[in-house]
Amino acid sequence: MNILVCISSVPDTTSPINFIDDNKKFDNKNITFIINPYDEFCLTKAIFIKESVGATITVIHVGDNTNDPVLRKALAIGADKAIRVNQPARNSKIVANCIADYCQNNSFDVIFCGKESIDYNSGQVPGFLASKLNLPFINGCINLEIEGQSATLKREIDNGHEICKCSLPLIVAGQKGLVEEKDLRIPSMRGIMTARTKPLDVIESQIDNENLIQVIQYDKPLARSECKMISEDNVEQLVELLNQEAKII
C-alpha cells in the first residue's frame, strides 16, 4: 500500500502574527515553524495503517528549503521518504497542481491532507487534488478503516456525522479524531537517527504555475477596547450593557 501525506509548514500556534513590506508579507522573523497540526493527525494515522497492514509512507511539501526541517521531522516521526517540490506556495491551486503532478507519475492508494492549514485556513488543497486526479474526496474525516481495496470512513459533517464507504484510491482531509491527540506519534531518538538516512528528494515543478489568485494585503483586527469589569453583585448591569451598548439582547 502506498500512502501520501501532504505536509504544510505553519507558524506555531503561539507565534505573534505580524506583517511587513507595507502589510503585504507575513513577518517570519523569529517564528517557530511546525508541521500543520491537522497534518500530524494524518501522518500518525498513516503510521497506524503501516503498522497494521504494511505501507510505504511518502510525505510531500511544496515550498523552499527553509521548510526542510519540517520534512525531516516527518521522517523522524515515521514517514519513509520525503519529497519537496521546489516552488513557492503562492496559493492553494499551485500547491495542489504540484502535488497532482507528482501523483501522476507515482500511484498512491490513500492521499492524506490535513483539513486546513492553521495559517491560511483555506482547506482547498485536498479538493483541488481530488478534482485534478479525478479521485473521490472525503473531507472532515475522523475515522478510517481500510479493508482490502476499499475503505469505510466516518466524517464530521455540518451538525452531525456520516459513515460512508469508498474504493481506493481516495483523498482524505483529516482532523482530530482520525487518531486521538494522546496517540500522536512524536520523533523518538531512533526515529531522529534513522531520519538522516531516509531520502528527502527535491524536485522542480514541471508545470505552468498560474498565479491568478493572490493576497494583496494583510490586516490585523482592531484590538478590543479594554474589558469593562462588572461587579458580581451587580449582574443586572451586564444585561443593561449587552442591551444598550452592545445591542445584542
Partner 1 sequence: MNVLTLIENWEGQFKKTSLETLSYGKNLADKIGAKLIAITYSGENPEKLAQYGADKIINISNGSFESITNHTIADNCIELIKEYEANYLIISNTNLGKAIGPLISNDESIGYISNAIEKPINLKPLTVKCKAFSGKAYATYQSNYEKNIISIVPNSIGEITNNSSTGEVINIEKTINEKIQIITRNKSNEKISLSDAEIVVSAGRGLKSADNWDMIEELANTLGAGTACSKPVSDMGWRPHSEHVGQTGLAINPDLYIAIGISGAIQHLAGVNSSKNIVVINTDPEAPFFKSADYGIVGDAFEVVPKLITALKNYKN
Site for partner 1 in 158-197 (CB under 8 A): 158-167, 173, 175-177, 181
Q: Which residues in 98-127 contact partner 1 (CB under 8 A)?
A: 116, 118-127
Closer residue to partner 1, CB minimum distance, 165 or 196: 165
Record the cell numbers describing residue 176, joined without a space: 482530530
* Chain residues 56-75 in contact with partner 1, contact rule CB under 8 A: none
Q: Which residue from 29, 148, 197, 212 is in contact with partner 1, where contact means CB under 8 A?
A: 212
Nearer to partner 1, 202 or 215 (CB): 215
- Cβ atoms of residues 200 and 82 within 8 Å: yes
Q: Residue 7 corresponds to which cell in the numbers above? A: 505536509
Q: Is 222 in the site for partner 1 (CB under 8 A)?
A: no
Residues numbered 70-99 forming contacts with partner 1, rule: CB under 8 A: 92-93, 96
Stretch that binds partner 1, among 60-68, 80-88, 190-198, 227-235 (CB under 8 A): 227-235
Exactly one of 47, 95, 130, 200 binds partner 1 (CB under 8 A); that residue is 130
Taking each helix axis from N to C end, the angle separating 125-133 and 92-104, rounded to the nearest 10 degrees, works out to 40
Q: Which stretch binds partner 1 (CB under 8 A): 72-80, 101-109, 155-163, 195-203?
A: 155-163
Residues 16-45 close enough to bind partner 1 by CB under 8 A: 17, 19, 37-38
C-alpha cell, 118: 492553521
Smallest separation (angstroms) from partner 1 to the CB of 91: 9
Residue 153 grid cell: 470512513
Identify the residue whose cell numbers are 531512533.
190
* Nearer to partner 1 among residue 53 and residue 235 (C-beta): 235
Instruction: Give me the amino acid identity at 9.
Output: S
Distance of CA 92 to the CA centre of its chain: 12
CA atoms of 10 and 177, how far apart (whole Å): 21
Does 229 participate in binding partner 1 (rule CB under 8 A)? yes
Asked whether position 157 contacts partner 1 by CB under 8 A, the answer is yes
Amino acid identity at 45: K
Distance in angstroms (rounded) separating the CA atoms of residues 8 and 178:
18
33, 108, 112, 128: which one binds partner 1 (CB under 8 A) = 128
Q: Which of 92, 105, 85, 89 is nearest to 205 (CA)?
A: 85
The span of 53-61, 63-71, 77-85, 151-159 binding partner 1 (CB under 8 A) equals: 151-159
**Least distance CB 66 / partner 1 (angstroms):** 19
Helix (H, G, I), strand (E, B) or coil at 72: helix
Sign of the Cα torsion 60, 64, 66, 68 reads positive
